[in-house]
Amino acid sequence: MKPVAIFRHAASEGPGYLAGFLDEQHIPWQLIAIDAGAAVPPSAEAYSGLVFMGGPMSVNDDLPWIAPVLALIREAVDRDIPVLGHCLGGQLMSKALGGAVTRNPVKEIGWGEVAVAGNDIARAWFGAARHFNAFHWHGETFSMPQGAALLLSSAYCANQAWGIGKHLALQCHVEMTGAMIVSWCEIGAEEIAAHCTSPAVQNTVEMQRQMAGELPHLHEIAARLYTRWIGGLRDTG
């Protein structure tokens, strides 16, 4: 099978739980560290799937790698190569396919409940789950491109996930590990402090206190999503 390409845009925002999941499924993957200067591949042809992780930048920033990434996403969708996006990655997917990325009404940082939409496509991705606590860290939000089905929403962000065929875009983070949360709390301490009055921003103590109870269920959700997503790789790899 061709490898899955995983695009990292910040050193602290790697594949997390997804890496171990792919290894357990014996699916080869290749990290493309945009943050370390790796070039965007000229074509998606060498990969069975594309995964885009998060990052502190905006998809609307004038960064040299954004236009090639948007073109790569469009090519992958045209070729029916599965694409998966987490937070910034989901925003890249939305923009590539004709959606818009704009400021969310409030920053969402920390654990927060998301509700699963009541449509057949949402049930195909999330099964019997009707709501769960996801991890959030974003100040912008995406609109859904034409043909996308809404999958998740939260009290503070209407569009938390969408799906089109084999492709899944997430605004929230399902890939988190305990080590990632601790790291983000350290890196983002000033951002948290600056928005501490927001009803959608948790303090670092509470975020980390909830890890033991929330991460196992979040990993169950992630495993279900990733299992369905890798099913699409079989046709392309």
Indicate which CATH number applies to the domain containing 196: 3.40.50.880
The label of the residue with tokens 């009055």 reads 197
Beta-bridged to residue 29, according to DSSP, are 4
| Tokens of residue 118, six digits | 């009541």
pTM of the model: 0.97
Give pLDDT, residue 145. 98
- pLDDT at residue 235, as a whole number: 57
In this prediction, residue 181 carries a pLDDT of 98
Distance (Å, whole) CA 150 – CA 143:
10
Pairing verdict, β 83-86 and 49-52: parallel
pLDDT, tens digit only, all 237 positions of the chain: 999 999 999 999 999 999 999 999 999 999 999 999 999 999 999 999 999 999 999 999 999 999 999 999 999 999 999 999 999 999 999 999 999 999 999 999 999 999 999 999 999 999 999 999 999 999 999 999 999 999 999 999 999 999 999 999 999 999 999 999 999 999 999 999 999 999 999 999 999 999 999 999 999 999 999 999 999 996 554
CB 204 within 8 A of CB 189: yes
- Count other C-beta atoms under 10 Å from residue 118's C-beta: 9
Number of domains in the chain: 1
- Determine the distance from the C-alpha atom of residue 131 to the mean position of all C-alpha atoms in its chain, rounded to a whole number: 17
pLDDT at position 24, please?
Answer: 98
Structural domain for 132, as ranges: 4-235
Backbone angles phi, psi at 32, to 5 degrees: -110, 100
Give start and end residues of each alpha helix (H) in the chain. Answer: 17-24, 66-79, 88-96, 120-126, 178-187, 189-194, 204-209, 211-231
